[in-house]
Structure 1
Amino acid sequence: MKESVLSFACEGQPLVGILAEPDGTPAEVGVLIIVGGPQYRAGSHRQFTLMARHLAANGFAALRFDYRSMGDSPGETRDFLAVDADIKSAIDALLAARPTLKRVALWGLCDAASAALLYLESTGDTRVAGVALLNPWVRSAASLAQTHVKHYYWQRLRQKEFWLKLLKGGVGAKALRGLGSNLQLACGAGKASDSRSFQDRMAAGLRGFAGPSLLVLSGDDYTAREFSGCAASAPAWAGLLERPTLALHELPTADHTFSASSDHDAQCRICLEWLRTRCLATNP
């Protein structure tokens, strides 16, 4: 494989990307690695660099880039809610730089996965061949409280030591107030949802996308658990994870960024297999 700098513009601002590609002709579907903030194109423990190189070594061109205000790309500070133009410019640049590519698969971790779905919802870009989502970000105060109640407080309430501490005064008033506040917020999760909240827009983006999608969830990650809770309870997400176009994989030992080499390698294999069997197979 080989790497090169790919510079391009987005609404008058220069963006910087690194294109990894095989020595020979790449597959007809390229991969755009969207970086979640606040970080740059290398990613935590170089995960995006390693991912792009793995894909390139196996025949796929992969572009990772800094959207405006991140890494080496200048511009006003922005987050995942405001990067549609950056994603479009990166797709434009990748397809223009390598004309043998026909379409592009979007790959994103955390709020970059959210950004990918928001991009699909707002643009309906037909050049997108597939979307790979790893631990998507759907956090709100209510969803975080619901996750804490289900995965922390519920376990604590079943422990004998907790009740012994409570009877002996070992559980402070602050901890009890925290439980009460989380229960109150959790009870409101999924109710009176704003139809244009970013979580609902993400669901709309996935629902309106007819191509293949990949969802990878880590077992040791609150963000993944929040997403699962949202997808199971929010009306906008009803039935989406059961669609035949979606491939769901769960990695029980993985943390949020797949920092263990075994988990990183596992998600790389899953993504590569999905690209080969689902994205290339459906590429017109």
Structure 2
Amino acid sequence: MSRRPIAFGCGSDTLSGMLDCADAHGLTGVLIVSGGNEIRAGAFAGTAHLAARLAQEAGVPVFRYDRRGIGDSEGENTGWRGSHDDIAAALAAFRTALPGMRRVIGFGICDAASALMLHGSALDGLVLVNPWTYETDDDAGHTPGALRRRYLAKLTNPRALWQLVSGKVDLRKLWRGLGQAARPNEAPSPLADQLHDSLAQCTRPVAILAAERDRVGERFLDLWPDNDPRVHRHPGSSHSFGEDADSADWLYARLVEATASRH
């Protein structure tokens, strides 16, 4: 496997990217869009490890980059909502670096997944992990539906019940949580509606991966149509599917499937 840095232009700014590929690279590559303000290596280099694994084990070339104003890239950070030009420039740089590559799958976690929903129309497929559906960071709590599911699960857990009767539970915190759980389900947010409308126009392969115990994944599942066949649920709580080996293997398998699929 080879790994090499690539500098490329986005308007008047120079952005920094990294290409991972096997000696005999495949015809389908993965473009990784970073979430939040993370650099291209990801939290604890998780994205870098995923890119190396895809290149080494599956022969899938991977390109990841720093958005404008992040890491080694020039320019103003306009956030994920303003990342259309960054994604387009990175895709063009990826294709230029590997002219024999025929398809590129976009991959993103959290607000990077939402960015791809809105700005990834030039890609040949999408793998979207725990898409961000909150209007603002201040709203990023558990939904009433998610809290009800958590409390119902605790009622069937003998250990949790013992902690309650033995006085090991903060009752003020419990009552606050129960009050939040009793609220009506949230109506779809304008952002969730916008993401849904954007994907409704998409004819390319899309896989949406949601962790049922991650607060961002829970909210997405609460707001998204239950019958969407593109949604794949995972019972864990890993936001990036990188915290444990089983979650990481599950994510890796879904990405390999996406690069192999033509439909």
Which TM-score applies when normalising by structure 1? 0.78
1:97 is displaced (CA, Å) by 1.8
Mean CA deviation greater in 134-143 or 38-47: 134-143
RMSD, matched Cα: 2.8
Whole-angstrom distance in 1 between the partners of 2:140 and 2:87: 29
- Of 130, 133, 139, 2:134 maps to 139
Q: Are 1:107 and 1:131, in contact at CA under 8 Å, matched by a contact in 2?
A: yes
1:110 aligned partner: 110
What SS does the aligned partner of 2:147 have? helix
Structure 1's 143 and 222: CA in aligned 2 closer, same or farther, altered over 3 A? closer
1:45 aligned partner: 44
- Of 264, 268, 279, 2:248 maps to 264
Matched, 1:129 2:138: no
Whole-angstrom distance in 1 between the partners of 2:6 and 2:104: 16
- 1:104-155 deviation per Cα after TM superposition (whole angstroms, max 9, x unaligned): 11001111111110114xxx32xx1110011111135498332453234455
1:74 aligned partner: 74
Whole-angstrom distance in 2 between the partners of 1:69 and 1:137: 21
AA aligned to 2:50 is M
AA aligned to 2:239 is H
Q: Are 2:22 and 2:60, in contact at CA under 8 Å, matched by a contact in 1?
A: yes
2:149 aligned partner: 151
AA aligned to 1:275 is T
Whole-angstrom distance in 2 between the partners of 1:270 and 1:45: 21
Q: Are 1:27 and 1:101, in contact at CA under 8 Å, matched by a contact in 2?
A: yes
Structure 1's 275 and 222: CA in aligned 2 closer, same or farther, altered over 3 A? same
State percent identity of aligned pairs: 27
Matched, 1:227 2:225: no
Whole-angstrom distance in 1 between the partners of 2:80 and 2:9: 18
- 1:194-248 deviation per Cα after TM superposition (whole angstroms, max 9, x unaligned): 6xx222221122211111111222243121111111114xxxxx74x23xxx3x4
Q: Are 2:107 and 2:126, in contact at CA under 8 Å, matched by a contact in 1?
A: yes
1:30 is displaced (CA, Å) by 1.7
Whole-angstrom distance in 2 between the partners of 1:23 and 1:78: 36
Unaligned 5+ residue runs, structure 2?
A: none
1:182 is displaced (CA, Å) by 5.5
2:186 aligned partner: 189
**Which structure is higher in helix share?**
1
Whole-angstrom distance in 2 between the partners of 1:177 and 1:250: 28
The 5 A counterparts of 1:170-189 are 171-172=171-172, 176=175, 179-180=178-179, 183-184=182-183, 187=184, 189=186
- 1:55-108 deviation per Cα after TM superposition (whole angstroms, max 9, x unaligned): 212222110111012211132233221111110110111112211122311001
Structure 1's 19 and 155: CA in aligned 2 closer, same or farther, altered over 3 A? same
Whole-angstrom distance in 2 between the partners of 1:61 and 1:4: 12
Which TM-score applies when normalising by structure 2? 0.84
Q: Are 2:145 and 2:185, in contact at CA under 8 Å, matched by a contact in 1?
A: no
Whole-angstrom distance in 2 between the partners of 1:101 and 1:67: 23
Unaligned 5+ residue runs, structure 1?
A: 233-237
**What is the total number of aligned residue pairs between the two structures?**
254
